[in-house]
Structure 1
Amino acid sequence: MKKLFLFGLLSMMILFLAACGSDKEDNASGEKKLSDKLYVFNWSEYIPQEVLDDFEKEFGVDVVYSTYNSNHEMLTKVQSGTVAYDLVFPSDYYVKQMVDNDLLLEIDFDNIPNYKNIGDAWHDMPFDPDNKYSVPFMYGYDGIAYNKEFIKEPPTSWADLWNPEYKGKVALLEESKEVSNMLQQLLGNDMNDPTKEQLEEGFNKLKEVVPNVLAFDATPSDRLVSGEVWIAHAYSGSASTAWLENENIDFVLPKEGGIVWLDAMAIPKTAKNKYTAEVFINYLLRPEVSKKLSEFIPYGNPNDEALKILPDEIKNSPGMQFPDEVIKNAKWNLPLDTERTQYMNRLFQEAKVE
């Protein structure tokens, strides 16, 4: 009996400790409650500290905020499980990749009433057609940012990055698929379905521009502002951020098309604080909060209500306004299969050190 009693007592203690340590957000009545902490993993330079501070003050939640510079870095850390992130910000094609690999939780949109502020054009996206796993955050383009102080004629093609006059003054994005997209567009190939031979051709072409390249940099804003970089394969938001400090910075989509993309908010399957993550998403979708995001880094904003109160200066920043025919020429990025992805990554690393 004593053994049975001790066994029962031990079992109850284990269950109690497990419940205390599981970081669940449901209380005994089934009502939702906020967690003490929220683990957010986001692109660098994407949310101002003011927005995080205001959330912490209003909701009493400590936001543990970490950043990354590429989708690949984010995915690797999520898969490693070293940190149980509650919210990540994958780009469109990585949302699909994470869904296909069973890495994301379905979102409870009852906890996100401000989702109604997202424009209709950003619903039912090809990477999440049923709007189950992601919420649009910001969109933009991969194109060409440049400093008009040093480059007098606007670039028109990806080929302009190869201009020998720009030796040591070029920056390229640091993610292999995005660089590959640029290379395949330049060569006239399907960037989302290249053969291995076309991948080889593309990265051989990259080797030719490496002497021009100062850095592979996801956020070359400071380099563009200072004149350290004259021209860059860059995100439109980087150009807009640089333009806020230096009016000589501009951004174009090349004649080959360029790339249109969307960064989304998603909840990894390893998240311990799902409800709090959804409350945070809802907070970011408030028009006045979303406006602050665009003022901090002027990417395209899918929040219609935020756009109504956004200053004209931000609406007219580089990369925010393009004619419809230019936008229609831009391509959506899609992931390659595992074999080609691994081959592409290897070719990219080899080309960078040539």
Structure 2
Amino acid sequence: MNKPLPEDPMMRELIQMARRHQMTRRTALAGASATAAALALTACAPAGSAKAELTPAADLSDSEKLLVWHNWSLYMDEDDAGNYPSLQKFEAETGIKVEYKIEIDDNDTYYGKVKDQLALGQDIGADVACPTEWMAARWVNNGYVQKFDSANIPNKKNLAPAYLGAAFDPERDYTIPYQGILAGITYNKVEYKKATGKDAPTSLEDLWDPALKGRVGVLSEMRDTIGLILLAQGIDISSESSLTEDAFMNAIDFFAAKVSDGQIARIKGNSYSEDLENGDTIAAIAWSGDTVQLNLSAEEEKYGFFIPESGVTISADLFTVPMGATHKKNVEELINFYYDPANAAMLAAWVNYVTPVVGAKEEAMKLDPALAENQLIFPTSEFLQNAHGFRSLTGAEELAFTKAFQEVLLGA
């Protein structure tokens, strides 16, 4: 039996919408330990470093109607039987069979698994993968991905203008956004109040309450965890003059101290959600859409999502086709499908992340007005004033910043 709807209007709307669309629990992929991210350290080559030019694999799409997709957990609509309705619709419309595999727990651990094949232009076992923008930029700069044929993606015209103009891919010839991501704070409402006496966090500093010692989790995504810490310290993470190496290292020192004294007990990728579910963590730096899925799993509004006044990080996960992929045209049909506003709305109704597709909000209004008005999915420009993208790093900065972050993870 459904439990009473929550007090939080934003979360109430999402849960109510989810119930109407009969969304149910999905199991998150158990992620690798944060220390496994060290596998990627040796591969942090500066962007634009000299590489032998790779040749795209022959495209077999005309004769082989299939593709393999590597993605994150909690990132595709799913029914009670474990099927993916939007993918089933795509398969029915195109005749292309999709093998959807939850392979990405965080960017570094995934890159550690596929970097050798990428560097050689070999098949990584996927025709399409969705790394986060900063990792996708590395792939583009290193020549690891194939160029899209825009003629095969007519719905690319629906890409929201805010997602154009990336320095590494200004016309989105090599990468196309799948979903936008907000990182803030997810917390167990009952346990948080029991531990702290407060109903909800009011700032990032509330995670450092001694009452939460050993029950705080953070993401193994450097730009989200350190990004939120930097924002709380008054640093503009989108500005080169504000986000200096000194500012970053000061935030790393702060982070390392919280790990060392046991305040932060867990540093994970997508599998952080399991620690919230089993009670190992009470509050965590987390991704917005996952909070809704956690509440659906619990069949009540057990978790809240908090946006600190100091700001949240915003980024995007991007469709990419590795050089060794043999079904690029099939992938282009897949992207075109999800850039149809009706299909984008169908997906947004489940994953609850920021959709990059113009027209999806109007289609979502037909499904459920609450869905269309939710700021976590269709944020207004005013809402986004508090969301900040982590600035692009030079090759030297990428090496130095990643090394400093990973050293904390290895010592955790």
With the shorter chain as reference, the TM-score category is 0.7 to 0.9
Q: Distance in 2 between matches of 1:231 and 1:34?
A: 50
1:99-153 CA deviation, whole Å, 9 max, x = no partner?
2222222211211122233334434445532232222221121112223333444
1:205 paired residue among 227, 233, 254 = 254
Structure 2 residue aligned with 1:111: 152
| Residue 71 (structure 1) aligned with residue 107 (structure 2) | yes
SS of 2:359 mapped into structure 1? helix
Greater relative CO, 1 or 2 (CA 8 Å, sep 6+): 2
2:357 is matched by which residue type in structure 1? N
Contact kept, 8 Å, 1:137 with 1:263, in 2: the verdict is yes
Structure 1 residue aligned with 2:72: 43
> Aligned ranges for residues 261-280 of structure 1 at < 5 Å?
261-280=315-334
Structure 1 pair 157/37, CA: closer, same or farther in 2 (3 Å)?
Answer: same
Structure 2 residue aligned with 1:234: 286
TM-score by structure 2 length? 0.70
Contact kept, 8 Å, 2:141 with 2:168, in 1: the verdict is no
Contact kept, 8 Å, 2:124 with 2:322, in 1: the verdict is no
> Aligned ranges for residues 250-329 of structure 1 at < 5 Å?
250-310=304-364, 311-315=368-372, 319-320=376-377, 324-329=381-386
1:146 paired residue among 187, 190, 198 = 187
Structure 1 residue aligned with 2:393: 336
Contact kept, 8 Å, 1:141 with 1:236, in 2: the verdict is yes
Q: Distance in 2 between matches of 1:199 and 1:123?
A: 27
Structure 1 stretch 221-230 or stretch 90-99: which is displaced more?
221-230
Contact kept, 8 Å, 1:236 with 1:251, in 2: the verdict is yes
Q: CA deviation at 1:95?
A: 3.1
Contact kept, 8 Å, 2:187 with 2:284, in 1: the verdict is yes
Structure 1: which 5+ runs fail to align? 1-21, 26-31
Runs of 4+ in structure 1 over 6 Å off: none
1:130-187 CA deviation, whole Å, 9 max, x = no partner?
2322222211211122233334444233222211111232221112333222232233
Q: Distance in 2 between matches of 1:144 and 1:85?
A: 32
| Residue 217 (structure 1) aligned with residue 268 (structure 2) | yes
Q: How many pairs are equivalent?
A: 327
> Aligned ranges for residues 52-91 of structure 1 at < 5 Å?
52-66=87-101, 67-81=103-117, 83-91=124-132
Structure 1 stretch 189-198 or stretch 138-147: which is displaced more?
189-198
Structure 1 pair 147/127, CA: closer, same or farther in 2 (3 Å)?
Answer: farther
* Larger CA Rg, structure 1 vs 2: 1
Contact kept, 8 Å, 1:88 with 1:265, in 2: the verdict is yes
